[in-house]
Amino acid sequence: MTGMNRRALPVRTPEVRAEVRRTPAPRTRHVEHLRTTWVRPSILSLALPVLVLLLVPKAASAARDAALCDVMAQRAASHTGVPVEVLRSIARVETGRHRNGSLEPWPWTVNMEGEGRWFDTRAELLDYVERHMARGARSFDLGCFQINYRWHGHAFRSVAEMTDPETGALYAARFLSDLFSETGDWIDAAGAYHSRTPVHARRYRARFEEVLAGLGALPDPPPTSSAPARTAPAQASRPFPLFTGGGAPASPGSLVPEGLATARPLFAAGG
């Protein structure tokens, strides 16, 4: 033990030892950073599954609804013999919006006395229509094929039935079949579907042909036996502008005005 320098150690009294125990060690900036960076991801990890559960069903429902017009057009075509491309084109001219890089029809639509609207759900559409009917509105078009309530509502049991995509598609197909029997041409039938007024029918035919060209060539007319005869409603024209604005001419019978083939259609939020 000799020959070694010993540094005298300080003697800690009981009071000093108690103070040391009460004083926490200082937290360095690095430790604080690690603490905060660990907490933030834990909050996100709890929130993300909730967001996914909320958003995924809504997106799936929107995709399913977006396909309804085409699905019901195919079904109506198989029942009536009307070319499915004609029905799909009519639906796009009437209710089409540019979504996901293409022109897509939408079932929950109405043109209320000249103001076109798209709704997220059928319930929202019906609520809007019923509120306006309560104030006396009768000039409005509904659904994938924009069937006019004033002139064609008598063929349905209720407004709710008019908004059913399958019922609307079958009615539109039978009406187009009658018009084809009258005109002998699907393009002319499409123009008459829109209006009996030549100037309006001519503009509509041009838009119809443009949309049809995007879907493929016009198919051959169906056999006469596959297009059941049916008396067309007395009033086939829709004499009021369904959508105006954007400098385009008034367009009776369509949510999307002529002249906006490549432009994004005007949109009015539901409510």
206: which 2 tokens?
């041009």
Residue with tokens 């195919």: 74
Residue 54 belongs to what H/E stretch? helix 29-80
What's the pLDDT at 119? Answer: 96
For 177, phi then psi, to 5°, come to -60, -40
CA distance 13 to 79: 101
CA distances from 170 to 45, 75, 113, 177, 185 (A): 48, 8, 24, 10, 19
What's the pLDDT at 120? Answer: 95
What's the pLDDT at 234? Answer: 32
3-class DSSP state of 219: coil
What's the pLDDT at 259? Answer: 40
107: which 2 tokens?
């079932």
Q: Quote the pTM value.
A: 0.62
CA distance 168 to 88: 13
What's the pLDDT at 29? Answer: 55
CA distances from 271 to 61, 65, 163 (A): 20, 19, 17
For 98, phi then psi, to 5°, come to -80, 110
CA distance 189 to 170: 16
First to last CA, the chain: 95
- Other beta carbons within 10 angstroms of residue 147's beta carbon come to 24
What's the pLDDT at 101? Answer: 81
What's the pLDDT at 260? Answer: 37
Put residue 148 in one of left, alpha, beta given phi > 0 → left and psi -120 to 50 → alpha: beta
Positive/negative CA dihedral, 180, 186, 190, 195? negative
223: which 2 tokens?
């056999």
Rg (CA), the chain: 33
Mean pLDDT in consecutive groups of 10 residues from the start of the chain, 271 residues: 50 55 54 45 52 54 86 96 96 91 92 93 96 95 96 95 97 97 96 95 96 71 39 33 31 40 33 37
